[in-house]
């Protein structure tokens, strides 16, 4: 289970397009360009061309009708975003059906697929994408994408190399438009800088140095209350392996070239499940030693909230992504002790001085088009125009619902697109504006960060929201400079046939065994028994299936 600050944090960071950065100089045309139209009234000459006659596009969509912040009269399927699309393209978007929750969406979609009664466009997961291709129910979008995707959309996808587009390409055909999950959300090691300075310590680099700092935090009364009541670091029951989790041991695993729960290439170049490799045994041995020495909170398994110690000013090391300051424990820590100063570090490093991490699943969902829909190119055009609005690249869109906090998901396609390094790009743009003391060229989103940084500069820590924004956008994301970390790439993010039957059992076995090893309830040699059992009850078969899937 992922332990994050709050669900709202990620919705506001990644689903609000993290950076919303001006990564492209492209601007939407303010007037409809001259165009050639076919006999059906479809514009054939460009990504933003308008249809000569109105067309309709029906969708299946999951969208809550509660707390939308839409003004009176507007609804989730009839609002300024939808009317903007209609004005620009002459495409009227309607909802064939809509659901309130993700579970309800999956149920409705399953019924639609089974009955072959599909909307013109809808969003599916990877398994459903493959099922729809096998059933020949969705359209080939290869030509549509190549000819009509806007430069901005192609730049987004291109920032991931071929790792996103290839996920939707089956038998050489692009069968859907993938969503993107930005990178750079790996755990950093956040440390109480004020404690380091009080104890006369230098920031750690290696794992041994990190352990020494943690030990000093425990033993040398960094909060100055005369009591031995402070802690080094804590953890979570799964230990790690869930990208973007807080309080995971992933930074420690990485220093020892161990990666929990990933499909990677081993030293011999073979596809392997990272949790069964020898490096994992080494890492578990190290965590066991740290736990036995009290460097890791002895109660971490039973604490309901792993952030409680840092929030109350009793712990000095937290593993968290760059966006950690937006939520617990950081604002509470500052509120309870205004002297607390947190700083992120890309540590611990390995013997070669590298900070190692694994990568995020770059694409989890796919926008697909029903086979037989007369205007499949309309999906591409709508997505093009939608992102001109989301990014405020079209002046006509910049004031839509201004100040009303209407989510971008109220646009027709709630499909996230951004650069892989969006968070770092946002930092670079923000820093440029601050250095130049000129915010005039910043996008509206980055301008809001700029204003919060300035607010925090004027009155440090008085406005915790401004402090959080400053720490996340100016301090945390600065650590995402590409030279600061080494990414071990996953080769597979999908689900095989045997995984559907056995994966939950295998994960339970892994998590329970690893936790027992760290807690000292079983010997480290239990790892070898775990590997043998994992392979026997399905792991070997799954590995073969993963190898076959990667070859395809």
Dist CA 214 CA 234 (whole Å): 11
Beta-bridge mates of residue 357 = 487
- Taking the C-alpha atoms of residue 354 and residue 348, their distance in angstroms, rounded to an integer, is 8
CA-based diameter of the chain, in Å? 84
Give me the residue spans of the domains in the chain: 23-182+364-410, 188-359+489-551, 422-485
Interior/surface letters 256-290, b for 16+ CB within 10 angstroms, e for the rest: bbbbbbbbbeeeeeebbbbbbbebbbbbbebbbeb
Residue 99: the pLDDT is 97
Q: How many CB atoms lie within 10 A of CB 415?
A: 19
Cβ distance 458 to 62 under 8 Å?
no
Q: Give the pLDDT of residue 507.
A: 98
Same fold for the pair 23-182+364-410 and 188-359+489-551: yes
Decide the pairing of beta strands 177-178 and 365-369. Answer: antiparallel
pLDDT at 552: 78
What is the distance between the alpha carbons of residues 245 and 237, in angstroms, rounded to a whole number?
12
* DSSP 8-state code for residue 366: E
Q: What CATH superfamily is the domain 23-182+364-410? A: Periplasmic binding protein-like II (3.40.190.10)
pLDDT at 45: 73
Other Cβ atoms closer than 10 A to 418:
27
Query: What is the reported pLDDT for 444?
Result: 85
Order across the sheet with 317-320: list the strands. 317-320, 188-192, 342-345
Task: Tell me how far apart the alpha carbons of residues 360 and 377 are, in angstroms, rounded to a whole number.
Answer: 30
pLDDT of residue 244: 86
- Is residue 129 helix, strand or coil? helix
Was domain 188-359+489-551 assigned CATH 3.40.190.10?
yes
Element spanning 379, H or E:
helix 377-390
Cα separation, 108 vs 373, whole angstroms: 20
Q: Under a CB-based contact definition with an 8 Å cutoff, are residues 21 and 443 in contact?
A: yes
95 sits in which H/E element: strand 91-99
What CA–CA distance (Å, rounded) separates 32 from 102?
A: 37
3-class secondary structure, 464? helix
**Which structure tokens are listed for 509?**
């076995």
How many angstroms from the chain centroid is the CA of residue 247? 17
The contacts of residue 116 (CB under 8 Å, 6+ apart) are: 137
Cβ atoms of 354 and 198 closer than 8 Å: no
Length of the chain: 552
Q: What is the pLDDT of residue 30?
A: 28
Per residue of the chain (552 residues), what is the pLDDT tens digit? 333 433 334 433 444 443 443 333 333 322 223 233 343 444 457 999 999 999 999 999 999 999 999 999 999 999 999 999 999 999 999 999 999 999 999 999 999 999 999 999 999 999 999 999 999 999 999 999 999 999 999 999 999 999 999 999 999 999 999 999 999 999 999 999 999 999 999 999 999 999 999 999 999 999 999 999 999 999 999 999 999 899 999 999 999 999 999 999 999 999 999 999 999 999 999 999 999 999 999 999 999 999 999 999 999 999 999 999 999 999 999 999 999 999 999 999 999 999 999 999 999 899 999 999 999 999 999 999 999 999 999 999 989 999 899 999 999 999 999 999 999 999 999 999 999 999 999 988 899 999 999 999 999 999 999 999 999 999 999 999 999 999 999 999 999 999 999 999 999 999 999 999 999 999 999 999 999 999 999 999 999 999 999 987
What local confidence, expressed as pLDDT, does residue 43 receive?
A: 44
The radius of gyration computed from the CA coordinates of the chain, to the nearest angstrom, equals 25
């Amino acid at each position: 289970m992922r332990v994050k600050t709050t669900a709202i944090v990620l919705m506001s960071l990644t689903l609000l397009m993290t950076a919303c950065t001006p990564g492209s100089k492209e601007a939407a045309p303010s007037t409809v360009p001259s165009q050639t139209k076919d006999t059906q009234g479809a514009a054939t000459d460009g990504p933003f061309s308008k249809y000569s006659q109105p067309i309709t596009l029906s969708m299946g969509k999951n969208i809550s009708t509660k707390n939308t912040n839409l003004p009176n009269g507007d609804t989730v399927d009839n609002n300024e975003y939808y009317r903007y699309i209609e004005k620009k393209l002459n495409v009227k978007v309607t909802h064939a059906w809509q659901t309130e929750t993700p579970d309800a969406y999956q149920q409705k979609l399953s019924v639609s697929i089974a009955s072959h009664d599909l909307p013109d466009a809808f969003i599916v997961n990877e398994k459903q994408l493959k099922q729809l291709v096998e059933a020949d129910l969705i359209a080939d979008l290869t030509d549509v994408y190549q000819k009509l995707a806007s430069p901005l959309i192609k730049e987004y996808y291109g920032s991931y190399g071929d790792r996103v587009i290839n996920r939707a390409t089956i038998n050489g055909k692009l069968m859907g438009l993938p969503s993107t999950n930005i990178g750079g959300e790996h755990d950093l090691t956040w440390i109480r800088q004020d404690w380091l300075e009080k104890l006369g310590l230098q920031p750690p680099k290696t794992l041994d140095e990190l352990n020494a700092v943690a030990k000093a935090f425990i033993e040398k009364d960094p909060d100055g209350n005369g009591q031995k009541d402070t802690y080094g670091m804590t953890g979570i029951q799964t230990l790690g392996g869930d990208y973007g989790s807080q309080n995971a041991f992933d930074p420690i695993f990485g220093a020892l070239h161990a990666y929990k729960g990933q499909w990677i290439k081993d030293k011999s170049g073979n596809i392997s499940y990272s949790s069964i490799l020898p490096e994992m045994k080494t890492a578990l041995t190290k965590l066991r030693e740290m736990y036995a020495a009290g460097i890791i909170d002895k109660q971490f398994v039973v604490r309901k909230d792993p952030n409680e110690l840092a929030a109350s000013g009793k712990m000095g090391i937290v593993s968290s992504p760059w966006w950690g300051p937006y939520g617990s424990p950081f604002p509470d820590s500052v509120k309870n002790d205004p002297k607390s100063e947190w700083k992120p570090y890309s540590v611990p490093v390995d013997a070669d001085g590298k900070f190692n991490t694994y990568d995020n699943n770059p694409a989890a969902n796919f926008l697909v088009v029903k086979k037989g829909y007369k205007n499949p190119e309309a999906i591409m055009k709508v997505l093009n125009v939608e992102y001109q609005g989301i990014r405020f690249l079209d002046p006509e869109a910049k004031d839509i619902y201004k100040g009303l906090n209407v989510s971008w998901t109220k646009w027709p396609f709630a499909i996230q697109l951004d650069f892989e390094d969006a968070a770092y790009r946002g930092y670079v743009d923000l820093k440029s504006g601050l250095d130049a003391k000129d915010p005039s060229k910043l996008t509206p989103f980055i301008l809001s960060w700029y204003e919060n940084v300035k607010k925090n500069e004027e009155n440090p820590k008085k406005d915790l929201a401004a402090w959080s924004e400053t720490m996340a956008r100016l301090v945390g994301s600065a650590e995402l400079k590409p030279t600061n970390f080494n990414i071990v790439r996953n080769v597979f993010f999908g689900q095989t046939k045997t995984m559907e039957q056995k994966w939950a059992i295998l994960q339970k076995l892994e998590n329970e065994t690893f936790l027992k090893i760290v807690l000292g309830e079983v010997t480290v040699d239990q790892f070898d028994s775990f590997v043998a059992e994992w392979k026997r009850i399905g792991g070997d078969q799954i590995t073969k299936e993963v190898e076959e899937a990667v070859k395809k």
